[in-house]
Structures are given as structure tokens and as C-alpha cells.
Amino acid sequence: MPNYSIKNILVPVDFSENSWNALCYAVALYKKVRCNFYILHVAGLKDQPIDAARLFPLPVNLSNQTGIDKKELLDNFHSKACDQLANENHVFFGQMEYGGLIDVVQKQLSEKHIDLIVMGTTGIDNLKKKVMGSNTGAIITRVRCNTLVVPEKAQFIPLQRITFPTDFNIFYTPKVLKSLTEILDINKANLDVVHVSSVQMDFTENQKTNKDYLFDYLDEVFPEKYAFNIIQNKKIVHAIQDFVRENNIGMISMIARNLNFLQQLFFDSKVERMSFHTTVPMLVIHE
């Protein structure tokens, strides 16, 4: 495995089992890579202890402010990580911030040079709402940082196959290719490039150029470690779900800039067709 520089990984948490599971998955995924894990809880401004409270004293039964309780929860969460997830390659930090999630995360990215955000998600209950309207959807679409979305029931096992659904309408920048290279290297995994077309059609010149560029790169860097799959005459979400299930795919990787494709594939689908969202992590790559 290449000697990667230390990775800075941000894990926003709400102290739920989903948050803990997401952290555990990321720790296992990067077990052999030196990492700083920044465990972040973002509380609302109303939870922030302020000196002005002296001017407006709270009743005795309300004097224990929510912010203090959450700081305790964060300390416990951080201590649990240090005790149960100890690894000579990993260091854990706990941080409490107040404000809006996106603003705080953007601040963390700048201050700590974050390489990856890890988000835990719940399953069927939250899928009844559009994922694009959730915190995870907001991070994916509004924060320019690679994001690993870990579903509630995902359990880490060494990844053997990662699928990369694409419509070839996006040019693959060096940053995108580097992110793909890294996740494949770390896991010694194979890559399944999947193109889904609802009808039989020829590629446009732009698609051909992007496809050829991607495969030239894979031929050079991962010879005999990737496959190209064309699935026709199926709805995209059904095709990908079936491919993931039938081929024991361990992770799905997508390019964030291709939002129309991303939304069609993951965020506009009926709940009953999205069962793989509860078990298969998704890596969203930003350019």
C-alpha cells in the first residue's frame, strides 16, 4: 500500500447509534492509514452557554443548559472512541461547535484541512423524506469535500468490489481519479464501472471521450482490476440496486458534480426500492 500522508477525517455526530456505526466503519476502512479523526457535534445557538444568561436567570429546574449536557455527551463519545477503537495509526479529537451545520463544517474544512467527511444515516424512516433535504444531502451538495455516507446497518468487511455508476457526461479530473485510486488501493478492491441506459443508444462524442480517458487511466493504474458493465432497458435505480445485490458490491462511488444523475439514482426513488441504502456505504467524490 502506498505511504499516504496523514488523513484528516471529520465525523459529525448526534450521539446516535448511527453516528457511532459511521465512526466505527471509517476507523476499520482506514485501519492501516494514519488518520486524525475529528469527532464534531454541532449544537444550535440556543444551546450555547452565554454570559448574558446572568441577566436573564433561568428557573432552577432549567439552569442545567442543554449545551452543557451535550458537551458531556461529546466527552463520553470521544472517550468511548479512544477506549474501544484504539489504533496506533489513529488519533481522536472531540469538538463542540454552535451554529448551522454547513457553516460549521465549512469552517472545520478550512481550519483542519479535512480530506473526508463521514456521515451516518438512518434507513427506512428517513428515506420517507427526500435525502436531499437531510443533513447528509446538504453536506453532499453544498460542501466541496469527499463524503462517505454510512448507512445504519452497514458493517465493515474488507471491500472486494466497488461500483462506479456513471453516464460518462462528466470529465474525470485528476482529483476524482486520485480519490478512486486511493479507495481501491486501501482495500485492494476491484472496480465495476456501470453504465445504465433506459434505451439502446450510442454514446455522444463527449461521452466517448470521457469513457476512453477513464479506461486509459484504469488500464495504466489498475490493469485487470476493473470491469465495464452496460445495463440496458432498465430504470437506473432498479438496475444499480440489482447490480449491487447480485454482485456483492461493498461500496458505491459517485461524482458529486453529476447532480442530475446522482439525484435520479439515489434521491428520487421510492422507499421500497432503496433497501441497499441501509447496508451499502456510498462515497461521493468532489472535484
pLDDT mean over 136-157 = 88
| CATH number of 215's domain | 3.40.50.620
Q: Do 166 and 144 fall within a single domain? A: no
Q: Do 49 and 8 fall within a single domain? A: yes
User: Which of 136, 156, 176 represents a domain boundary (last residue)?
Assistant: 156
* pLDDT at position 100: 92
Higher pLDDT, 129 or 6: 6
Q: Do 224 and 106 fall within a single domain? A: no
Q: Do 87 and 141 fall within a single domain? A: yes
* DSSP structure class, residue 248: T
Q: Is 284 a member of any domain?
A: no
Q: Do 64 and 191 fall within a single domain? A: no
Q: Do 128 and 56 fall within a single domain? A: yes
Q: Do 114 and 210 fall within a single domain? A: no
Q: Do 25 and 81 fall within a single domain? A: yes
Q: Do 97 and 238 fall within a single domain? A: no
| Whole-number Cα distances in Å, 209 to 114, 192, 202, 213, 286 | 32, 19, 13, 6, 20
DSSP string, 80-142: HHHHHS--TTEEEEEEEEES-HHHHHHHHHHHHT--EEEEEE--HHHHTS-GGGSHHHHHHHH
C-alpha cell at 274: 432503496
With a CB cutoff of 8 Å and minimum separation 6, the contacts of 239 are: 194, 196, 231
Residue numbers of the domain that contains 75: 1-156
Q: Is 7 a member of any domain?
A: yes
User: Which of 131, 156, 181 represents a domain boundary (last residue)?
Assistant: 156
Q: Is 14 a member of any domain?
A: yes
Phi, psi dihedral angles at 113 (to 5 degrees): 55, 55
Q: Do 144 and 192 fall within a single domain? A: no
**Among the listed residues 196, 134, 142, 135, the one whose alpha carbon sits nearest the alpha carbon of residue 165:** 196
CA 150 – CA 22 distance, rounded (Å): 5
* pLDDT at position 26: 97
Higher pLDDT, 22 or 124: 22
Q: Is 272 a member of any domain?
A: no
Q: Do 7 and 64 fall within a single domain? A: yes
pLDDT mean over 223-234 = 86
Domain count, the chain: 2
Q: Do 176 and 79 fall within a single domain? A: no
pTM of the entire structure? 0.86
Q: Is 125 a member of any domain?
A: yes
Q: Is 106 a member of any domain?
A: yes
Above 80 in pLDDT, residue 60? no
